[in-house]
Each structure stands twice: as C-alpha cells, then as structure tokens.
Amino acid sequence: MKFTDYPIVPEIKKAISELGWNKPTDIQFKAIQSILDGEDVLAIAQTGTGKTASFVIPIIDKIAKSKHKYKSNGISALVMVPTRELAKQIEGVFKEIGKHTKVRPMAILGGVEQDYQIEQLRGKVDIVIATPGRMFDLISQGHLVVSEIRTLVLDEADHMLDLGFIKDIRDLMKHIPQKRQTLFFSATIDKDIKKIAYDLVRNAIRIQISPKNPVAKNIAHSVSYVEMDDKRFFLENLVKENENKKIIAFVRTKVRAERVVKAMERVGIQAEALHGDVDQKKRFSILTRFRNGENKLLVTTDVAARGIDIQGVEAVVNYDLPDVAENYVHRIGRTGRGKDKGWAISFCSKEEKNYLLAIEEFVGYKIAEYGISKDDYEAIVEESESQNYDWQKLMAQEDLWKSKKKNK
C-alpha cells in the first residue's frame, strides 16, 4: 500500500511526498484506515515506529474535509502528551503534514507566556497538542473550548501515568464530549495502562507493533563490558571514530552528564549536556545546535531526552545502563527513526550487570555482546588523549618540581 492509495485529501499526499515518504510504516498501515473510518484505536507502539503520523494524517484529513461544512468555536482534536518536547514535536508533524491545508495546530505548553497563547487561541485553532497543566488553566478560564472535540489522542500514555497525570486524564473527560473518537497510544502495556485504556476507548481496534521485540528492527544494538572508570576513554574513541556523526550518550544523573561533557571537552570533543536543570530556553538552543549538527555529541539523562525526535542520530551510547529496564527501549529509540538505520551500544560495568539482566528480560532476549579483546581494551585506554594530557601535566609538574628544587 502506498500513501497515494489512501482516500485522503491531495494536500496531505503532497506534503507526505515532499517529506520523501513512500510507504506507510507498520503502525501507519494498521492505524490510518481505521482512524479514517472513525474507529477508536488502542495501539502499543514505541517511538520511532512512525506512530505520530499514524494519527496526524487521518486527523488532518477529517478536519480538512469537514472545514467548509463544520463551523465551530472550539477545537476539533486534542492530543494530550506527557512532555513539552513531545508536544512541540507533534505540533511540528501536524504543521509539516498539514502545510498545504488550512488546518491549524497549536501546542499549549507551560513555561511560556500565557497571553500569547490566549491570543493564538482567539484565531482559529483546530487541533491542540498539550501537556496537562497549562491546558487546564486555559480551559478553566474559558480560553480553550474543548466541548466540541471529536477526536482525543493520548500519546505515550504509559509515561503520563508514570508522571502521575492519571487524575488529569480523568478530569479532562468531564470537559469533553462522551461521543468522540479516542486514540490511545502507549509504548508499553501493563495492568494500569489497560485499565485506563479500556475506560476511555470503545470497541477499539487493537494494534500492537513488534510485541515480542520492543526494539525497532532497524536498530542494531549490543553491549560491551567496560569498567566504570574507563567509560570515558571508550566514548572518546567511539566519537573520534565516528567523526561528523550525531551521537547521543545517556547517563544516569545530571552530575554525571556534566562530568562526561567536561571529560570530552578535555580531549577536544565538543559536547553539550541536557538534563533537568537546564532551563527551557537553553534546552531549545541545545537541541537546535544538535539538530543542525553544530554540536555532534549530546550527553543526556532519561527524563531530559524523553520524546525528542532528531533526524539522523547515528548512534546511541548507553554510557550508564538505565536502572529502569524500559528506558533502554526509549533511549535506543532515538536512533533508527522511521526507516533509517541506527545502532546503539551499552557500556556495562561489573556493577551494572543486574541492570543488563533486567533489560534482557524486558526485551525478551539476550543482547549481543560487542566483544573487545584485552589488547584492544588496553589500547583504547592508553590511546586516550586524556592520558596524554595527564602525562603532559605530570611531566610539567615534574619539571616545575625539579626547577623549584634547583632554585632552592
């Protein structure tokens, strides 16, 4: 099936062809027609599968087709998401795919001027993509009218539950029509997700993408055994061997993110840290620099990186293994987006073996080892520029010490 075969408006087909997409991905193939037919959907799909466009395409199509006959004061579709980045990113996909239509999306985020958002809402907005906080403020002040919503999307519902947004989701139901289409997306499924999903959807079409292997097919991922103190040498080596490629390295804490960046800078590698303490403005500029390729190495934590979609990330490095197994899948899903190929490598130290076992249990198989021979291991540690740097520093100190002795 090609995009040209779908009964969608030509303006959308044009935008899709400009994006260079020929065929729908698996989730798109399974979801688009059902959504166009007005069905509820319950989809278990990870980021990287093309899930965003699977709801964006039919939503824009429906609004584009009904625009001339349907006059409303409120928005027609609401997409609720856990993070600001995800909201911005989904808004971007709506804009891209809807650029030849008159359908208007808008992301509503906290942390930015509310007045500007109110102003924008006064113009005609068809689709709102929002995180809960600011959205409720605007609903209660009457600036955002959700009583005419025809399609509700909950994206990354598992992450919303993790962040404690369950009450918000339930509160929202009081404001929106009972008769609506609900599209529920989650990367993982468990008892709690099922409960909330089945409370929201009606006779939903169930779609599960690669249930046994939550890692996208186009990501080659493996593990190497590297001791904690040696990890920086291996990251240095990897970055230098992959010059001009975009790489994301994941670490467990903010402090480690800063430390790894410093260690890389010492060996002449330009890197930037993205973590919870980086303010919103700086985050956007860091992500823009990474997106543009001005900065090739992004060192980040799980929370800070969730949901970011950057084209052409060649590799993901698990500098530290995640302590929550599921995050492994989210992390490595930053590479191999859509139909691109990507690779991921995890540096597992002795102390982290249990994390690796938990990850293997989660993905359902043993992760291939990328073996490093003893000689190679030693060579990588010895060849590090930081070793040279330390030598130079030591020699300089030695000289200083000698000259001090001489001068006495």
Where along the sequence are the contacts to ligand AMP (CB under 6 A)?
21, 24-25, 28, 47-53, 309, 311, 337-339
Q: Measured from the CB atom, is 74 or 338 closer to ligand AMP? A: 338
Q: Measured from the CB atom, is 28 or 181 closer to ligand AMP? A: 28
DSSP codes of every residue in 7-35? SS-HHHHHHHHHHT--S--HHHHHHHHHH
Q: What's the closest the beta carbon of residue 86 comes to ligand AMP, in angstroms?
A: 9
* Cβ proximity of 157 and 185 under 8 Å: yes
DSSP codes of every residue in 94-158? HHHHTTTSS--EEEE-TTS-HHHHHHHHHS---EEEE-HHHHHHHHHTTSS--TT--EEEE-SHH
- Nearest residue to ligand AMP on Cβ basis: 338
Distance between CA atoms of 29 and 48, rounded to whole angstroms? 15
Q: What's the closest the beta carbon of residue 374 comes to ligand AMP, in angstroms?
A: 40
Q: What's the closest the beta carbon of residue 307 comes to ligand AMP, in angstroms?
A: 8
Nearest to 185 by CA among 43, 28, 27, 57: 43
Q: What's the closest the beta carbon of residue 241 comes to ligand AMP, in angstroms?
A: 25
Q: What's the closest the beta carbon of residue 46 comes to ligand AMP, in angstroms?
A: 7
Q: Measured from the CB atom, is 51 or 150 closer to ligand AMP? A: 51
* Cβ proximity of 346 and 318 under 8 Å: yes
Say whether 289 sits in a helix, a strand or coil. helix
Q: What's the closest the beta carbon of residue 390 comes to ligand AMP, in angstroms?
A: 41
Q: What's the closest the beta carbon of residue 14 comes to ligand AMP, in angstroms?
A: 15
Q: Measured from the CB atom, is 207 or 321 closer to ligand AMP? A: 207
Q: Measured from the CB atom, is 6 or 347 closer to ligand AMP? A: 6
Pairing verdict, β 246-250 and 271-274: unpaired
Q: Measured from the CB atom, is 25 or 101 closer to ligand AMP? A: 25
Nearest to 98 by CA among 137, 65, 50, 72: 65
Number of neighbours of residue 279 by Cβ within 10 angstroms: 8
φ, ψ of residue 314 to 5 degrees: the values are -70, -45
Q: Measured from the CB atom, is 187 or 193 closer to ligand AMP? A: 187
